Chains A and B, each alone.
Chain A
Amino acid sequence: MLESLDPVVLARIQFAFTISFHIVFPAFSIGLGSYLAVLEGLWILTEKDHYIRLFRMWVKAFALSFGMGVVSGIVLSYQFGTNWSVFADKTGPVIGPLMGYEVLTAFFLEAGFLGIMLFGVNRVPKLMHFAATVIVAFGALVSAFWILAANSWMQTPAGYATNEAGQFIPTDWWAIIFNPSFPYRLVHMVLAAYLATAFVVGATGAWHLLRGRQGPMVRTMFSMAMWMAAIVAPLQLVAGDQHGLNTLEHQPAKVAAMEGHFEAEMKGAPLILFGWPDMQAGETRYSIEVPKLGSLILTHDPNGVLKGLKSWPREDWPRVPVVFWSFRVMVGLGLLMIATGVASLWLRWRGKLYQTPLFARWCLVMGPSGFVALLAGWFVTETGRQPFTVYGVLRTADSVSPIGSPAVAVSLLAFVAVYLAVFGMGIWYLLRLMRTDPEAASAAPPPKETRAAGITPVQATHGALPEP
């Protein structure tokens, strides 16, 4: 039975599954890392107690998320070889060194200072500890830099030639790293990580507000998160718009799929708000459209000409409904985030930011929105790149390992079982940390070392353990 499944499809599902789990943790680590650095910095500057108590609360979430990011990431770095060996052979000379730099400049840096950040409070001077936090936060951003360079090169390959063995060989490293889509993707992704984190922190604050906890910790986290929403969500709209215009230039078929445009030439194309893209029929059914707006957004001219999917051969189309709908989920959530930010500014101005249960409840609902939008965005990007792994050059079907379906299927099942169990528990622990009353939990005296020369990591990070 297993033999009848297509190994390419199985390998794709396996990759999508493992990376979708992975990306959630690094995104949270990128956002929380910077947040923690800011908190600790504010504490050093103002010496206000609640900043360091917030730090101690969120550093535990960070440790959990980071640990899960590490173990799920190691899986990925080997998955290129196990499931995508032809891809690895061909693109290794180009994206291998990028990932090599990621290890050398980011992973070692984070790992080297994480121990100090988590367990070193009583072992290094205050400023050294702060430096460790900043370095870890910086390392997470450096990691995003390199891996997004690699991914963007697959979207918009540049600076390479091919050799007799069919390998991509680098000709210009600058062009490879700063390939056409990279700057846009880097900005958009880092903003996405910050937004996703901000909405989780905001939802945590809202949860406690709704329980009548109005202490400085709760207010500070809620307020900081809402400032992020108010400032970063509109920036993300601008970044996303620019990203889309750039994609139109380099991957026009992907944009056609996002828009649900099939007709080869469309003058004054509408903006399709909703509908069902039917690839068989080659049209978007039941569509609700705004005339000419599509052309206006993408060409800045209401009568501008857009190319639809029929400009390209059928076998080069991505799975249109996935791209189309993921795009709408992302943009829709982005707009709701902007609305949240605006509402928070209004309430803040009226002095009712912490006293509006309806708004707090709304923020609680929006808690996961950042992560949903982030995943939806990656689905747009990655499914829109199909049927290629290296856009326009190397087909997905020609990238896969010579491994039979049963092996891929069994490993897929194993990944699903283990990830759901382990990361399911991890996410549950995270939620548990977040819903514990922070003021009460951190009221316990700060952890003390029992011995002068002993490592006491347990007490250091786990000092204020929530009781079950």
Chain B
Amino acid sequence: MSVLSDLAIVWSAILGFAIYAYVVLDGFDLGIGILAPFAKSDDEEETMISSIAPVWDGNETWLVLGGGGLMAAFPLAYSILLPALYAPLIAMLLALVFRGVAFEFRHRHVRHLRVWTWGFVLGSYVATFAQGVALGAFVQGIAVEGRAYAGGWFDWMTPFSLFTGLALIAGYALLGACFLIMKTEGALQERMYRHALPLGVAVLGAIVAVSAWTPFLDPALSARWFSWPNIAYLSPVPLLVVAIALGFFRSLAAGRQILPFVMVSLIFLVSYCGVAISVFPFIVPRAVTVWQAAAPDRSLGFLLVGTAVLVPVILVYTGYSYWVFRGKVGAGPTYH
């Protein structure tokens, strides 16, 4: 029993890491799609999209690891959550189709450039919104009976989930802006500094709103956060957010290039831990725990060996690939 419970926890941590990696990495990709309509010239737009062309595929692979890992490690959770989030997930997948093909399609025909740029932009908005909605629907809870989803098709749609959808658009846009601060220079970079400020304020506002809202979704949630002694243990969480936020705004004001992105990633990390605290040890909130959903030891152990060996290797060569493409993105001539 103890080994089993250990593996379930280990796998929760691995999946947690994969999803966080996805959120930050594909977050800035999608964020650039969200910001692209605000480019001031075709060259700028090209620079923005070029900055992620060599890396977006690797970033999106974390989503595949999240999905595939969930099926492997917690098949019961996979089989309940995906039908429960049917509509937002299908919307996300279709949006990612448009986003992903745009990188290549934009340059296959001069006259189609605009069309696929719009595919890229709308795909980024819809995918982000759908992910935010899915997150909200997940936190607010899912109806389960036996081993199956027992709710309706539109259970996911509530004011809360729509709000988290919008909030994530702001969040990814902020990540995208901070990534561009790192990767560009000149007028584009200036403008990203200016976008980052209101986006940062919006994201913090959203974090406050979601934190205030969550306890009212379910009495169990308010009990978790506000009962004694939990409140004492958990109070550092909001304090941390405040501290990092201050660091973020100072780094912007000081014109730092890398620090803003790091700070935003940390804000995401802390908020993400906040969600985890609301949910854990459930993997389908308040219905199925990680232990109930876990695959047998032989499955978890088999994949764990590979994960333990391969994820560090992956991080090394992914790092190498970012290193090859280090430095500022050239505005470069486009072809007209």
Q: Which A residues have a C-beta under 8 Å from some C-beta of B?
A: 63-64, 67-68, 70-75, 77-78, 80-82, 85-86, 88-94, 96-97, 99-105, 107-116, 118-120, 123-124, 163, 165, 167, 169-171, 173, 401-404, 406-407, 411, 414-415, 418-419, 422, 425-426, 429, 432-433, 449-451, 453-459, 461-462, 465, 467-468
Question: Which residues of chain A come closer than 8 Å to B83, judged between CB atoms?
Answer: 81-82, 85, 401-403
Q: Is the CB of B328 within 8 A of A114?
A: no
Q: Is the CB of A465 within 8 A of B98?
A: no
State whether the Cβ of B81 lies closer than 8 Å to any Cβ in chain A: yes
Contacts A92-B72, A165-B147: A101 and B295 contacting too (C-beta < 8 A)? no
Contacts A104-B306, A426-B101: A81 and B79 contacting too (C-beta < 8 A)? yes
Q: How far is the CB of B266 from chain A (nearest CB, A)?
A: 25
With most chain A CB atoms within 10 A of its CB, the pick from B57, B110, B320 is B57
State whether the Cβ of B139 lies closer than 8 Å to any Cβ in chain A: no
Q: Is the CB of A115 within 8 A of B54?
A: yes
Q: Is the CB of B332 within 8 A of A468?
A: no
Within 8 Å by CB of A454, from B79, B87, B149, B327, lies B327
Contacts A74-B63, A85-B83, A167-B75: A455 and B51 contacting too (C-beta < 8 A)? yes
State whether the Cβ of B114 lies closer than 8 Å to any Cβ in chain A: no
Q: Which stretch from B88-96, B222-230, B245-253 is at the chain A interface?
A: B88-96
Question: Which residues of chain B come closer than 8 Å to A402, judged between CB atoms?
Answer: 83, 148-150
Q: Is the CB of B310 within 8 A of A112?
A: no
Give CA–CA (A311, B326) in the complex, Å. 65
Q: How far is the CB of A443 from chain B (nearest CB, A)?
A: 17
Question: Which residues of chain B come closer than 8 Å to A71, judged between CB atoms?
Answer: 96-97, 99-101
Q: Is the CB of B58 within 8 A of A453?
A: no
Q: Which stretch from B160-168, B277-285, B311-319 is at the chain A interface?
A: B311-319
Within 8 Å by CB of A173, from B80, B89, B302, lies B302
Q: How far is the CB of A439 from chain B (nearest CB, A)?
A: 20
Give CA–CA (A100, B303) in the complex, Å. 7
Q: Is the CB of B79 within 8 A of A85?
A: yes
Q: Is the CB of A64 within 8 A of B104?
A: yes
Give CA–CA (A163, B296) in the complex, Å. 10
State whether the Cβ of B213 lies closer than 8 Å to any Cβ in chain A: no
Contacts A82-B89, A425-B105: A169 and B325 contacting too (C-beta < 8 A)? no
State whether the Cβ of B262 lies closer than 8 Å to any Cβ in chain A: no
Considering the complex, which residues of chain B in the window 155-208 have a beta carbon less than 8 Å from any beta carbon of chain A?
A: none
18 more contacts with CB within 8 A, not counting A415-B94, A465-B335, are: A67-B101, A71-B100, A71-B101, A81-B67, A91-B75, A96-B68, A96-B72, A100-B72, A100-B306, A101-B306, A103-B69, A104-B314, A112-B317, A115-B324, A419-B97, A453-B328, A457-B50, A458-B50
Q: Which B residues have a C-beta under 8 Å from some C-beta of A?
A: 46, 50-51, 53-55, 57-58, 60-61, 63-65, 67-73, 75-76, 78-83, 86-87, 89-90, 93-94, 96-101, 103-105, 107-112, 147-150, 153, 295-296, 298-299, 302-303, 306-307, 310-311, 314, 317-318, 320-321, 324-335
Q: Is the CB of B54 within 8 A of A457?
A: yes
Q: Is the CB of A111 within 8 A of B299?
A: no
Give CA–CA (A89, B74) in the complex, Å. 8
Give CA–CA (A204, B312) in the complex, Å. 42
Q: Is the CB of A96 within 8 A of B71?
A: yes
Contacts A124-B324, A403-B86: A115 and B78 contacting too (C-beta < 8 A)? no
Smallest Cβ-Cβ distance to A73: which chain B residue: B64
Q: How far is the CB of A283 from chain B (nearest CB, A)?
A: 41
Closest 8 CB pairs between A and B? Answer: A454-B330, A92-B75, A81-B82, A96-B72, A115-B54, A453-B327, A89-B79, A85-B79
Q: Is the CB of A103 within 8 A of B61?
A: yes
Give CA–CA (A101, B71) in the complex, Å. 12
Question: Which residues of chain B come closer than 8 Å to A94, judged between CB atoms?
Answer: 299
Give CA–CA (A414, B148) in the complex, Å. 25
Q: Is the CB of A457 within 8 A of B98?
A: no
Within 8 Å by CB of A103, from B64, B298, B302, B325, lies B64
Give CA–CA (A223, B134) in the complex, Å. 52
Give CA–CA (A419, B101) in the complex, Å. 11
What are 6 contact pairs spanning A and B, CB under 8 A?
A81-B83, A103-B65, A104-B310, A407-B87, A458-B107, A468-B110
Smallest Cβ-Cβ distance to B148: which chain A residue: A402
Q: Is the CB of B68 within 8 A of A102?
A: yes
Question: Which residues of chain B come closer than 8 Å to A123, judged between CB atoms?
Answer: 324-325
Q: Is the CB of A82 within 8 A of B82?
A: yes
Contacts A429-B105, A465-B107: A85 and B80 contacting too (C-beta < 8 A)? yes
Question: Which residues of chain B come closer than 8 Å to A115, judged between CB atoms?
Answer: 53-55, 57-58, 321, 324-325
Q: How far is the CB of A460 from chain B (nearest CB, A)?
A: 9
Q: Is the CB of A70 within 8 A of B57?
A: yes
Smallest Cβ-Cβ distance to B92: which chain A residue: A78
Give CA–CA (A109, B316) in the complex, Å. 11
Q: How far is the CB of A462 from chain B (nearest CB, A)?
A: 4
Give CA–CA (A108, B91) in the complex, Å. 24
Q: Is the CB of B101 within 8 A of A457?
A: no
Contacts A93-B296, A124-B324: A468 and B111 contacting too (C-beta < 8 A)? yes
Q: Is the CB of A454 within 8 A of B329?
A: yes
Q: How far is the CB of B184 from chain A (nearest CB, A)?
A: 10
Q: How far is the CB of A133 from chain B (nearest CB, A)?
A: 14
Q: How far is the CB of A402 from chain B (nearest CB, A)?
A: 5
Within 8 Å by CB of B94, from A119, A407, A414, lies A414
Smallest Cβ-Cβ distance to A68: which chain B residue: B101
Question: Which residues of chain B come closer than 8 Å to A415, judged between CB atoms?
Answer: 94
Q: How far is the CB of A175 from chain B (nearest CB, A)?
A: 12
Q: How far is the CB of A431 from chain B (nearest CB, A)?
A: 11
Give CA–CA (A411, B99) in the complex, Å. 19
Q: Is the CB of B97 within 8 A of A88?
A: no
Contacts A455-B54, A455-B329: A422 and B96 contacting too (C-beta < 8 A)? no
Q: Is the CB of B72 within 8 A of A67?
A: no
Give CA–CA (A63, B107) in the complex, Å. 12
Question: Which residues of chain B come closer than 8 Å to A163, judged between CB atoms?
Answer: 296
Give CA–CA (A429, B109) in the complex, Å. 8
Q: Is the CB of A111 within 8 A of B68?
A: no
Question: Which residues of chain A come closer than 8 Å to B50, judged between CB atoms?
Answer: 455-458
Question: Which residues of chain A come closer than 8 Å to B314, judged between CB atoms?
Answer: 104, 108-109, 112
Give CA–CA (A71, B197) in the complex, Å. 33
Give CA–CA (A235, B79) in the complex, Å. 41
Question: Which residues of chain A come closer than 8 Å to B330, judged between CB atoms?
Answer: 449-451, 453-456
Give CA–CA (A423, B306) in the complex, Å. 34
Give CA–CA (A327, B107) in the complex, Å. 40
